[in-house]
Structure 1
């Protein structure tokens, strides 16, 4: 009795384990491509949002610091009141309303 050659065994296993011959599923491939494109677009939009959010948060923080410094200036002390924040709430409200209208305009 002769042992089968190793190459014969490899060829037999390759033939048995090979996927069946059939045409590709174009619909599935298109769906996967669309999903990849949508995920990339979402990642870009998310990155733009966080970059914009960080910039605008820094800008609002700088404006609040400027309002605090202005409200503690001797020239504006009568307008600021005892707590040094008398000017800040109305000006902050104007700033937030402007910020909101800018966001709606972009959408």
Structure 2
């Protein structure tokens, strides 16, 4: 079914459908490279933030558990009050403000 004119037709179609020849867009390539670098830097910073967040959240939880255990001791019972949380709320507020401040500064 192929005739002698098929090669000429193929050549004409390939010439018509070929993308235009032009120089590469260097500015676009640089912009894409910068976007990839920025995305990688953001991913690293986000990973550092979450690992730090998890570590400091565990530290705050351990401190709160220690406060709760200490509030039940006979030596500190007068300070703790009847609910065993008399002095814990102010200390909890200080810990949470410290925790929130360090995370806010770290993200800046």
> Which of 1 and 2 has higher RCO (CA within 8 Å, sep 6+)?
2
For residues 58 and 10 of structure 1, the distance between their equivalents in structure 2, rounded to whole angstroms, comes to 70
| Unpaired segments ≥5 residues, structure 2 | none
Quick one: structure 1 residues 5 and 71, their matched pair in 2 at CA, closer, same or farther if it must change by over 3 Å?
farther
Quick one: structure 1 residues 68 and 17, their matched pair in 2 at CA, closer, same or farther if it must change by over 3 Å?
same
Quick one: structure 1 residues 85 and 96, their matched pair in 2 at CA, closer, same or farther if it must change by over 3 Å?
same
Matched ranges for 1:1-107 at <5 A = 3-4=3-4, 13-100=13-100, 102-103=102-103, 107=108
User: Per-residue displacement from partner, 1:60-86 (whole Å, max 9, x unpaired)?
Assistant: 011000000000111111111001011
Matched residue count: 106
| Unpaired segments ≥5 residues, structure 1 | none
Contact persistence 2:71–2:77 (CA under 8 A) = yes
Q: TM-score, normalised by structure 2?
A: 0.78
